Structure 1
Amino acid sequence: MAKVQKYSTQTYRKIALIGYFSLLVYMPLWLIVLAPSQSLSPTLSLIMFTLPLVFPLKGILQGKPYTYAWANFIVMIYFLHSLTTLWVAPEERIFAALELLFASLMFYGGTYYAKYRGQELGLSIREKKADKNEK
């Protein structure tokens, strides 16, 4: 029985793009303007928290499902950062909660976009049963 997807593939892409670009704009804004770190220089903050988001930019703009899939590994940095900040810095909880929201949007949208768009394109990471039987 085929499972019906809840939203269209393009809706998942839009959700991922909202999360991605929100993180891309929000992280330097938070760490340099809104609440600058006492222990990190602005340059180091940019390198640590913005540069990783630039790596998948081209593939994300092109709508490549593989890029959306591996970009989720990068999003884990922001999950960990936001959860750690929520735990250790009560004065920055609102900033960390926004980061967690944006990272969650990117992760959710990116995961389902990669899955459904990959299916639409006939991409698969699993071995086909026919290929297994030939081995």
Structure 2
Amino acid sequence: MSKQTFSTPMLKRMALTGYFGLLVFMPLWLIVLSPSEGLSPLLSVSMFVIPLLFPLPGLVKGNPYTFAWANFIVMIYFLHSLTTLWVSPEERWLAAIELALASLMFFAGTYYSKYKGQELGLGLKKNRKEKNN
């Protein structure tokens, strides 16, 4: 096992900071800072907030499995921020904030789920060929 730089409680706090940051920042961006001209505010907020609500109970409880699968949801925000950085110069600063929050949640959540899973004795089952080698 490699030496762990961050403790699991610190990784959890970092991941939750990124998560709750996205949960607050996305509606703020879409309603106040730069509302979309093509979409209604309700639709745009729904598209970017509802996916974040699915993992909320498991994240608050600290379930490592939830932190792992929540990373699939975070990819929406990661890709949205990269696309916005590329195509919308006037919103680059907003996209940079979204990218930072999504990256924080992704990387801290990944390591939290790995290390917390190890602490709890969870892991992937190895097949017999790998066990014998």
> In which range does the TM-score fall when normalised by the shorter chain?
over 0.9
**Paired amino acid for 2:26:** M
Q: CA RMSD in A?
A: 1.5
In the superposition, relative to structure 1, how do residues 87 and 130 fare at CA in structure 2: closer, same or farther (>3 Å)? closer
Given the alignment of the two structures, is residue 94 of structure 1 paired with residue 93 of structure 2, yes or no?
yes
State the Cα distance separating 1:46 from its structure 2 match: 1.4
In the superposition, relative to structure 1, how do residues 3 and 131 fare at CA in structure 2: closer, same or farther (>3 Å)? closer
Question: 1:53 and 1:27 mapped to 2: Cα distance?
Answer: 10
- Indicate the residue corresponding to 2:23 in structure 1: 24
Secondary structure of residue in 1 paired with 2:121? coil
Greater than 3 Å deviation, 4+ residue runs: 128-133
State the Cα distance separating 1:130 from its structure 2 match: 8.9
Secondary structure of residue in 1 paired with 2:58? helix
Question: 1:127 and 1:16 mapped to 2: Cα distance?
Answer: 28
Alignment size in residue pairs: 132
Question: 2:32 and 2:127 mapped to 1: Cα distance?
Answer: 51
Secondary structure of residue in 2 paired with 1:50? helix
Given the alignment of the two structures, is residue 13 of structure 1 paired with residue 22 of structure 2, yes or no?
no
What aligned pairs does 1:101-120 form with structure 2 within 5 A after superposition?
101-120=100-119
Question: 2:92 and 2:130 mapped to 1: Cα distance?
Answer: 51
- Indicate the residue corresponding to 2:54 in structure 1: 55
State the Cα distance separating 1:126 from its structure 2 match: 3.2
TM-score, structure 1 length as denominator?
0.93
Unaligned runs of 5+ in 1: none
Question: 2:26 and 2:5 mapped to 1: Cα distance?
Answer: 30
Question: 1:45 and 1:20 mapped to 2: Cα distance?
Answer: 18
- Indicate the residue corresponding to 2:63 in structure 1: 64
Identity across matched positions, percent? 64
Question: 2:61 and 2:79 mapped to 1: Cα distance?
Answer: 27
- Indicate the residue corresponding to 1:46 in structure 2: 45
